Amino acid sequence: MENNLNAKQRRRNEAIQVFKDHPDKIAPAIQEKILAEQVVLGMTPYDAYLAAGAFAFKVIADPKKWEKNADPYKVMWAQSVSPDESQIWMTFENDTQYPAEGKKLFRAFFQNGKALEIEKLRGAR
């Protein structure tokens, strides 16, 4: 449990530093959701990571921009500064996305650098 708490605190500290260093890059409403540890529509993949932490992911890189074997991490993180038609699915599990329901598994879908769908998954605890 302590590792999870340490990871949460490190992620929170990272978010606060990003807010200070780049005050014009993340809208105040998104900053609030990041600090509440909730993924919302309009977030970038990086925003979602800051909000929800560890994740599994799938990336289909935009073939107009990326080579066939492009590093999926580079494709995913580039969406924050140079969005494209890449499709990204990030799957998280936490107890903050749906606070009244406890720990839940959920997936966010991103295109053009923004979360377009957030879906609660079956089989979550």
In degrees, rounded to 5, the angle at the alpha carbon of residue 119 between the alpha carbons of residues 22 and 80 is: 20
Taking residues 18-22, report their average pLDDT. 92
pLDDT of 5 above 70: no
Q: What is the pLDDT of residue 1?
A: 42
Q: What is the pLDDT of residue 6?
A: 86
Report which secondary-structure segment, H or E, holds 17: helix 2-21
Model confidence pLDDT, tens digit, residues 49-71: 999 999 999 999 999 999 999 99
Taking residues 16-30, report their average pLDDT. 92
Least confident of 1-15, 37-51, 56-70: 1-15
Q: Is the dihedral of CA 89, 91, 83, 76 positive or negative?
A: negative
Give the up-direction half-sphere exposure of residue 56: CA atoms within 13 A in the CB hemisphere: 5
| Closest C-alpha to 88, from 36, 39, 125 | 39
pLDDT of 37 above 50: yes
